[in-house]
Amino acid sequence: MKKVNIGEELASLEEYWSQKIIGKANGQLFKVAKGIGEVNWHKHDDQDELFILYKGHLTIRLRTENIELFAGDMFVVPKGIEHSPVAEEDVEFLIVGLDITSTEAGGKPAWSRTPNG
Amino acid sequence: MKKVNIGEELASLEEYWSQKIIGKANGQLFKVAKGIGEVNWHKHDDQDELFILYKGHLTIRLRTENIELFAGDMFVVPKGIEHSPVAEEDVEFLIVGLDITSTEAGGKPAWSRTPNG
């Protein structure tokens, strides 16, 4: 059993909009990611997606409103709700859910995709 | 749908070793708590318990080793594993699991219990 440091894990990220699993509990994955620019509109029919901001300013656009997140803020995108995260400058965050959602179906922009997804 | 700020929620806590739910996702509760002193040895047979430290120094004593947590550290106590958190000074943390575990069965020390638990 080992601890991890969220700041160190965030600092180790090289790719934007790619999620790195740093912990698992009760079937949930705890993942760190960094982002810039826009994620395509998408939704997850099978899971809620929880964000905790660590650095920067992330706007989570919903069809009904924009949620403005800053360091220390937590927000849950309920399953089935369309959303599109946008960041004008670098943002770093923790994301919790059932699996890796930084995929094409998960809204990952084409410019950030590697050959593996 | 509303965001919450983890720092503000931590600052609002009045009782030690009492958990306040600030979010729910995929059946998991995201709770804030503060602590000082020792939590009694206990285990959770039905759930993993995940900690993220926000302030101070928390030692999670296990039967096999001590895990020393500081701000930004994350640690999962797997289900069924006996543990006893200890803090010499005030600590603040986020805890994730299936339900409120700050109960007598959850190791909550007698001095911190209110008439309701």
Helix (H, G, I), strand (E, B) or coil at A40: coil
- Contact assignment for A1 to B25 by CB distance below 8 Å: no
pLDDT for the residue A90: 97
B1/A73 touch (CB, cutoff 8 Å), yes or no: no
The angle formed by the CA atoms of residues B49, B51 and B53, to the nearest 5 degrees, is 170
Question: Which tens digits make up the pLDDT trace of B68-86?
Answer: 999 999 999 999 999 999 9
B7: chain A residues, CB-CB within 8 Å:
72
Which residue of B4, B62, B72 is in closest CB contact with A7?
A: B72
Tokens (6 digits) for A105: 């179906």
What secondary structure letter does DSSP report for B7?
Answer: H
pLDDT at A106: 87
Cα–Cα distance for residue pair B53/B71, rounded to 1 Å: 5
User: Considering only CB atoms, which residues of chain A are within 8 Å of chain B?
Assistant: 1-8, 22-28, 30, 47-50, 52, 62, 65, 67-69, 72-78, 81, 96-98
Interchain CB distance below 8 Å, B6 and A69 = no
Question: Is pLDDT at B55 greater than 80 in this prediction?
Answer: yes
Contact A1 B73 (CB under 8 A): no
A30·B74 Cβ contact <8 A = yes
**How close is the nearest chain A Cα to the Cα of B117, in Å?**
25
Nearest-by-Cβ selection for B22 from A3, A49, A74? A74
Question: Looking at chain B, which residue has its C-alpha nearest residue A8?
Answer: B72
Which H or E run contains B91? strand B83-97
* pLDDT tens for each residue of B94-111: 999 998 888 888 889 999
Query: Can you tell me the distance from the alpha carbon of A76 to that of A96, in angstroms, rounded to the nearest whole number?
Result: 9
For residue A49, the SS3 value is strand
Q: What is the DSSP string of A74-85?
A: EEEE-TT--EEE
Tell me the nearest-neighbour CA distance from B14 into chain A, angstroms: 20
Percent pLDDT > 70 in chain B is: 97
Spatial CA neighbour of A99 closest among A28, A32, A8: A28
Q: pTM of the prediction?
A: 0.94
- Quick check: B49 pLDDT over 70? yes
Ordered mean pLDDT values, 10 residues apiece, chain A (117 residues): 96 96 97 96 96 98 98 98 97 95 88 73
Q: Which residues pair with A91 in a beta bridge?
A: A35
What distance in Å separates residue A58's CA from the closest CA in chain B?
Answer: 12
In this structure, the dihedral spanned by the alpha carbons of residues A86, B51, B22 and B39, taken in order and rounded to 10 degrees, is -170
